[in-house]
Amino acid sequence: MHASLAPALERSAGVRTFALPFDATPVLNAVWWHPVHDRDPEHQWMRGLFVQAAAELGDAH
C-alpha cells in the first residue's frame, strides 16, 4: 500500500497499520497492455488517468 493512503484508511475504515519488522524492497507499479491497444482512445484515456494518479501520489512524498 502506498504510504500516503494508509492514514486515510486508518481514519475512514478503522484500518490499523504497523511498521514492517524487516526491510522491504520498494514495490514497482506498472501497467501493461497488448500493443494492439496502443492507439485505442479509451486505453489512452485510462492510461492518462493512471499517469495522473501516480504523479499525484508521487507529489505526496
Tell me the per-residue pLDDT of 2-59, one tens digit each, with 9 for 90 and over. Answer: 777 888 888 899 888 888 899 988 877 788 999 999 999 999 999 999 999 888 877 5
Residue in this structure with the C-alpha cell 486508518, named with its chain if needed: 10
Q: At 41, is the secondary structure helix, strand, or coil?
A: helix
pLDDT of residue 26: 83
Asked if the structure places residue 18 within a domain, the reply is: no
Residue count of the chain, please give it: 61
pTM: predicted TM-score of the whole model, two decimal places? 0.55
Indicate whether 61 pLDDT > 60. no
pLDDT of residue 59: 59
Asked if the structure places residue 29 within a domain, the reply is: yes
CA angle 20, 60, 54 (to 5 degrees): 90
The three cell numbers locating residue 43:
486505453
Asked if the structure places residue 12 within a domain, the reply is: no
Domain count, the chain: 1
Tell me if 47 sits within 8 A of 31, measured CB to CB: yes
| Domain interval for residue 38 | 25-61
